[in-house]
Amino acid sequence: MVATASYQGPAILAGGYRIFFFLAALWAFVSLTLWVSYLAGLTAQEANVDVLLWHGHALIYGYSGAVVAGFALTAIPNWTGRLPVRGWLLFALVLPWLVARFAELLSLYDAAIPELRVAGEMLFFLLFVGIAAREVIAGKNWRNIKIVVFFAAFMVMALLSNLDRLEVITLPFSGWMLGLAVILTLISVIGGRIIPAFTGNWMRQQRLEPLPVMFNKFDALTILVTIGALVSFIGAWSVVVTGVSATIAGVLHLVRLARWRGWKTGKSPIVTVLHVSYLWVPIGFGLLALASFGVGEAD
């Protein structure tokens, strides 16, 4: 049960999902619009950064960072029973994210402030991981401490990516790949918990059977294969290894999705959309497998 208390501040700061999901959607629209405009030659300005890398970082650490924060700040009170983070503390977390995104926009033009961009982004991640850890530990919710470890790993990947962009270190791959791997693993872990659970609860109300298969050894195997495929992708191993492992991962995720029986939830769009969203995981691995085998390459 979530603790309750009166809140008199701005509605948009009443919960993490309100402000961060809104900002994530706004940033996705702005960043994608600017990126496509550059690709289409619709803007006269010359970007002083690699626009493709800019796009990857903006979506993985900017957009996904906001989505992860919004999800975590909404889920953690349900896990711990503590009051949600809101008001001025929430604003203090939002502010460095906004600073980082503003500096990210400037980097597309001749007004780049890379230090401000990195400082804002890393302060956001530090505050977010610190708040998440504090809430889980204070609530003695040890079962979900591993999720905080994922958040911390995401922060480390953001740091490495930013150091690479500042040319402090040189990564042998694009920094956004690291964040993508963490996000996909997080989706695989959390999706494997909440999608069959929410689906099962709805199906019980509707007296539908058989119920979704809950997390078991098959799910653990799927996550291990997923991690292996992502490591192969990031490390640029043999195209055959990457292609085969991505194919296997995609098939396993499809089977996993089928075990959750989403096709029975058509009367509940809010449940159905969870299955539709997760479908993009096997689709993504399928596209990676095709790309690894050279399908779709220009002659």
Candidate from 53-67, 166-180, 284-298 with smallest mean pLDDT = 284-298
Q: Closest Cα partner for 62 from 141, 228, 175? A: 175
| pLDDT for the residue 187 | 95
Look up residue 253 and give its amino acid.
H
| pLDDT for the residue 3 | 58
Residue 108, pLDDT > 80, answer no
pLDDT digits (tens, 9 = 90+) for 286-299: 999 999 988 866 55
| pLDDT for the residue 145 | 93
Residue 4, pLDDT > 70, answer no
What is the separation of C-alpha 94 from the centre of its chain, rounded to a whole number of angstroms? 17
- What confidence category does residue 236 fall into, taking pLDDT thresholds of 50, 70 and 90? confident
- What confidence category does residue 234 fall into, taking pLDDT thresholds of 50, 70 and 90? very high
- What confidence category does residue 50 fall into, taking pLDDT thresholds of 50, 70 and 90? confident
Residue 250, pLDDT > 90, answer yes
Provide CB contacts within 8 A for 174, sequence distance 6+. Answer: 53, 56
Provide CB contacts within 8 A for 32, sequence distance 6+. Answer: 55, 59
251-261: buried (b, 16+ CB within 10 Å) or exposed (e) per residue? bbbbebbebbb
> DSSP string covering 18-48, please?
HHHHHHHHHHHHHHHHHHHHHHTT---SPPS
- What confidence category does residue 43 fall into, taking pLDDT thresholds of 50, 70 and 90? low
- What confidence category does residue 209 fall into, taking pLDDT thresholds of 50, 70 and 90? very high
* Six-digit token string for 162: 């930013």
| pLDDT for the residue 41 | 74
Q: Closest Cα partner for 161 from 70, 58, 242? A: 58
| pLDDT for the residue 51 | 80
